[in-house]
Amino acid sequence: MAVVIEGLTKIVKKKPILSDVSLTLSGVYGLLGPNGAGKTTLMRIVAGLLEFNAGRVSLGDEPISTGARVKRVNEIGYLPQEFMMYPELTMYEVLEHLAVLQGEHPAACRSKIEKVIEQVNLSSHLNKKMRELSGGMRRRVGIAMLLLREPSILLFDEPTAGLDIRERVRFRNLLKRLGHDHTIVISSHLVEDIEFLCTKIGVLDRGVVLFEGSPDELKQKAAPYTYELDVPLEELDSVMAANEVVQMSEEPSHVVVRVLSEQPIGRPVAPRLMDGYLALLKEAEAHG
Ligand SMILES: Nc1ncnc2c1ncn2[C@@H]1O[C@H](COP(=O)(O)OP(=O)(O)OP(=O)(O)O)[C@@H](O)[C@H]1O
């Protein structure tokens, strides 16, 4: 099911945080944007945790006003950036507590809890206390908590931030798997996460939508501007000062520098998602 956002505006202390935002969140959707773009605000509104000033949020064909929050809360699971819950309880006890709060009988919920724990690959840690878990494991428990309610839409705010490389890969694979039978929205400023996971991308900047489309369409934003140069080490500083450098890789005799440039320079290369994203932000900056 898609979440359709139309003309959404959020104003805090007279400052527009989101301005006339229209997006259709479906499939595995990546919400990209620099710090302060409004990604968390948008997610919290969709999750029913924040009011908004104008616009409409719909689930499928059904408009959802802030007044009808309960329905949204049941269908949408939201995992915030960081959370810690009941540090002295075991993972099982936390999930049992939540299941009982949701109306399940303690004796009847064991198989349901075991199922969600298996879905997030934590079966061997069932009796560990929450405070003993790593950041990545805690986030996976967070997902298990959401799955208990069986929502069809899952929202993840910066899901891999602060995770080490192994946890990040494990977490990404889990999100990929969940994407087979859920609508997933992932907010991030890490293009590599979005590239690996998402089938559709929206880019926000300062509360405004800059782009919505496929990863390939975003890449094409940089198609006329992406070049690589072989730069001797001693010339690196001056090349960096004169160009918008996207990436560098060191070779034995020189550095390969990837740049975005309006003038032809070096050799043209096929753009990657990061190039498209940076070209889009650069264009928005140029237009104020
Ligand atoms: N309650 C609030 N009061 C004042 N300003 C706020 C409030 N909530 C958000 N903002 C401002 O709104 C803007 C968008 O914030 P938001 O956290 O949604 O951005 P973000 O894209 O998630 O950023 P990040 O990637 O840094 O998490 C920021 O400038 C932030 O300071």
Ligand 1 site, residue 12, Cβ cutoff 6 A: yes
ipTM for this model: 0.95
The answer, yes or no, to whether any atom of ligand 1 lies below 6 A from the CB of 36, is yes
CB distance 44 to ligand 1 below 6 Å: no
Tens-digit pLDDT profile for residues 89-146: 999 999 998 888 888 887 778 888 998 998 888 888 889 999 898 888 888 888 888 8
28, 102: one domain: yes
Decide whether any atom of ligand 1 lies within 6 Å of the 185 Cβ.
no
Residues 9 and 144 in one domain: yes
Does residue 89 contact residue 97 with C-beta atoms inside 8 Å? yes
Check pLDDT > 90 for residue 198.
Answer: yes
Distance CA(44)–CA(32), nearest Å, equals 15
Q: What is the pTM of this model?
A: 0.87
Same domain assignment for residues 176 and 265: no
Of 160, 181, 213, the residue at which a domain comes to its end is: 213
pLDDT at 70: 47
Question: Which of 158, 193, 213 corresponds to the end of one domain?
Answer: 213
Q: Give the tokens for residue 147.
A: 């799955």
Please report how many Cα atoms fall inside a 13 Å half-sphere around the Cα of residue 231, on the Cβ side.
25
Mean pLDDT of all residues belonging to the chain: 88
pLDDT at residue 137, rounded to an integer: 85
Find the 37 Cα to ligand 1 centroid distance in Å.
Answer: 7
Q: What digits encode the pLDDT tens for the residues 40-96? A: 999 999 988 888 999 989 887 776 655 445 455 578 888 887 766 788 999 999 999
233/206 same-domain check: no
Q: Best of 9, 10, 11, 12 to mutate for ligand 1, by most ligand atoms within 8 A of CB?
A: 12
Atom of ligand 1 nearest to the CA of 41: 18
Together in a domain, 167 and 270: no
User: Does residue 288 have a pLDDT over 80?
Assistant: no
| DSSP per-residue string spanning 182-195 | SEEEEEES-HHHHH
Residues spanned by the domain of 116: 1-213
Task: Let me know whether 120 and 262 are in one domain.
Answer: no
